[in-house]
Amino acid sequence: MLDVKNLVKEYETGKKEGRRKVRAVDGVTLTITEGELFTLLGPSGCGKTTTLRSIAGLETPSGGEITLGGRVLYSSERHVTVPSNRRGLGMVFQSYAIWPHLNVFDNVAFPLTVLPRRQRPSRKQIRERVERSLEVVQLGHLSGRPSTDLSGGQQQRLALARALANEPPLLLLDEPLSNLDAKLREDMRVELKRLQRDLGITSVYVTHDQVEALAMSSRIAVMSDGRVQQLGTPREIYERPASAFVADFIGTTNFVEGTVVSVADDGTVRVDTSVGPIEGRTTTPLHAQDPVVVTIRPEDIQLSADDNPAPGRLTGTIRARSFLGELVEYVVENESLTLRARCAKSVRLREGTAVQIDIRADDALVLPRPA
């Protein structure tokens, strides 16, 4: 469907006498299949929005190639650059970009009415498309309302309807939920995922919100410094991060530094740490004496009160607890380490309680220690 090959975008910074080029996007390659909701995820300045804007034609890349359904939208080698208004893509911006002087119906219809005459649908077709798009986002009953009288969630759905009315082969969404409050953002995540699934429209979604990406995406590309650090399904990204950066950025995790003692034939790695031996799994080749970091998700740590733990077992003391609703988060400390553990609310441990810490080898991922 959409192929991005070795995409590069450079900017010049500094004054005339000291100009230098900075790569906002550095060799990004992606293949997005039909019907996917593909997410570009990363911190501010990682290059995700620049990549999306390059696909949309709002930025001109410095190199690479972008094709959609076999049609070349941009190619530095072939000297092809299709203007954004001729790419036929739908885009939903962070700011909604609602026209305040138009009502709901006219906001959706306007992009269709300004198409070149040969491409412009008839008045009847425009009305049918607009009404269909408004029904899809459940705004059909508000078609005559002034757009300024809509709530934030309704304005977001209006922006989505406007993008859908043109029946684009690809929908681009640039952090469309970031201006909404937490509860409305959660509701809109569910709504967007439902619409995307029901319509089967291929979508590229940009966000810095890890929960949003995990909840909505078919696949995720985690970006940093203009490059894709890892590409995979939400479960793969969360459970098997390729690097300490990805593990740290996606959700909450604990890091324990150590040195490899041995690597078994089944992939089990035994690591010597400051709190004792920890066994885990790895997705990269490791050898004895390699410096590593063990990453453990808080929900994968089991705690039990125990004043007399067995020799060699990890132990600690509860220093703080936070009730999170369905879970309770504990901060556990010993002489050299602080861990965060999330347990079912049925587990009741008081501050100051001595505990035994249990971590299954399958729940601990061993990664090379960052330089």
Residue 193 CB neighbours (<10 A): 16
| Homologous superfamily, domain 2-244 | P-loop containing nucleotide triphosphate hydrolases (3.40.50.300)
Q: Rounded to whole angstroms, how far apart are CA atoms 105 and 147?
A: 9
Q: Long-range CB contacts (< 8 A, 24+ apart) of 155-159?
A: 155/96, 155/98, 156/92, 156/96, 156/180, 156/188, 157/188, 157/191, 158/96, 158/98, 158/104, 158/107, 158/108, 159/92, 159/93, 159/96, 159/97, 159/98
- pLDDT in the model for residue 17: 61
- pLDDT in the model for residue 60: 92
Determine contact, residues 205/171, Cβ cutoff 8 Å: no
- pLDDT in the model for residue 312: 65
* Amino acid identity for residue 201 in this structure: I
- pLDDT in the model for residue 66: 96
- pLDDT in the model for residue 18: 62
Determine contact, residues 243/224, Cβ cutoff 8 Å: no
pTM, to two decimals? 0.84
Determine contact, residues 47/91, Cβ cutoff 8 Å: no
Determine contact, residues 110/132, Cβ cutoff 8 Å: no
- H/E stretch holding 36 reads none
- pLDDT in the model for residue 28: 94
End-to-end CA distance of the chain, in Å?
38
Q: Which residues of the chain have pLDDT under 70?
A: 14-18, 307-312
Q: Rounded to whole angstroms, how far apart are CA atoms 237 and 295?
A: 13
Q: Rounded to whole angstroms, how far apart are CA atoms 270 and 34?
A: 43
Q: Rounded to whole angstroms, how far apart are CA atoms 235 and 241?
A: 10
Q: Rounded to whole angstroms, how far apart are CA atoms 337 and 256?
A: 8
Q: Give residue limits of the domains in the chain.
A: 2-244, 253-368
Determine contact, residues 332/341, Cβ cutoff 8 Å: yes
Q: Rounded to whole angstroms, how far apart are CA atoms 180 and 82?
A: 33
Structure tokens at 277: 């031996």
CATH of 253-368, one of 2.40.50.140, 3.40.605.10, 2.40.37.10, 1.20.120.1200: 2.40.50.140
- pLDDT in the model for residue 16: 63
Give 284's DSSP letter. S
